């Protein structure tokens, strides 16, 4: 089955310089969409966007900048039809020792950033009579994690935000969905490993009783392309009756029904 609904349509991807954001951007370009990829300047400098994408500097914590970017994009390329929010940061450490400034940093990017971006997407799409929004969250939003309390809380809040937004926008023809990856081969994941021999990957796959973490039944980590495939489906015409869903793409790691 060939997914449709992309050819000639404007798509905006936040966090486009990250591993998952880049994979989604490539998939959208391959499907014929006009793609604006946004990220902070340092991220774009370190990981240039795929050829064909229109790069735009953006800090998702800046609500006014988000609104202005979308208005400028629509003025140049037509109505926004596809909005993909992947921008996010990771924080590791026990909650009892977490500085307030770190909590505010994580919530500001992962939760308030999601609010700023997806609300702006929704406002634009409601005016044009339809569209599709997908936010990339995490399976940590639904499963307690040791030393990841701030990150998990920020993603849980963002996930419910998208579902509520989907309910508000349903009668406007705007679908809102979530993709929740598990461990994925990106810099965010490998940055937590201290090994040089691949044992970090195997440790994630096997899981750990000491940290109350199950392994991955499929015995492999996701690739960014695995996540992009799920996002593309939820954006497509073929998911035209799917909204407010939370799709876990984690190899079965959460044992979720």
| Residues identified as active-site | 151
Each residue of 152-163: b (16+ CB within 10 Å) or e? bbbbbbbbebbb
| Token pair recorded at residue 195 | 């090994």
DSSP structure class, residue 5:
S
Backbone angles phi and psi of 88, in degrees to 5:
-175, 160
* Element housing 83 (H / E): strand 80-85
If DSSP codes are grouped into helix, strand and coil, which group holds residue 71? helix
Residue 25 to residue 74: CA distance in whole angstroms: 18
- Nearest by Cα to 110 from 85, 132, 92: 85
How many Å is the Cα radius of gyration of the chain? 18
Cα 182 from Cα 253, distance rounded (Å): 7
SS (H, E, C) 149-195: HHHHHHHHHHHHHHHHHHHHHHHHCEEEEEEEECCECCHHHHCCCCC
Residues 35, 28: Cα–Cα separation, whole Å: 7
Judged by DSSP in three states, 132 sits in strand
């Amino acid at each position: 089955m060939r997914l449709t609904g992309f050819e000639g349509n404007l798509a905006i991807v936040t966090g486009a310089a990250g591993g998952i954001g880049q994979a989604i951007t490539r998939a959208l370009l391959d499907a014929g969409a006009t793609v604006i990829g946004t990220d902070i300047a340092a991220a774009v400098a370190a990981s240039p966007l795929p050829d064909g994408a229109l790069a735009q500097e953006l800090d998702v914590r800046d609500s006014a900048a988000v609104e202005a970017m979308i208005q400028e994009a629509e003025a140049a390329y037509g109505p926004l039809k596809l909005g993909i929010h992947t921008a996010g940061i990771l924080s590791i450490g026990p909650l009892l020792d977490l500085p307030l400034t770190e909590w505010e940093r994580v919530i500001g990017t992962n939760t308030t950033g999601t609010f700023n971006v997806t609300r702006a997407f929704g406002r634009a799409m409601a005016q044009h009579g339809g569209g599709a929004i997908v936010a990339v969250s995490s399976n940590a939003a639904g499963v307690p994690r040791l030393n990841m309390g701030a990150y998990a809380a920020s993603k849980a809040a963002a996930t419910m935000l998208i579902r509520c937004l989907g309910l508000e926008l349903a009668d406007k023809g705007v679908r809102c969905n979530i993709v929740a990856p598990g461990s994925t081969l990106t810099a965010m994941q490998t940055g937590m490993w201290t090994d040089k021999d691949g044992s970090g990957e195997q440790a994630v796959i096997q899981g750990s009783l000491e940290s109350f973490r199950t392994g991955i039944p499929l015995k492999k980590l996701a690739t960014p392309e695995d996540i992009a495939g799920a996002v593309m489906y939820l954006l497509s015409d073929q998911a035209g009756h799917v909204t407010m869903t939370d799709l876990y793409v984690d190899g079965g790691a959460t044992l979720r029904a």
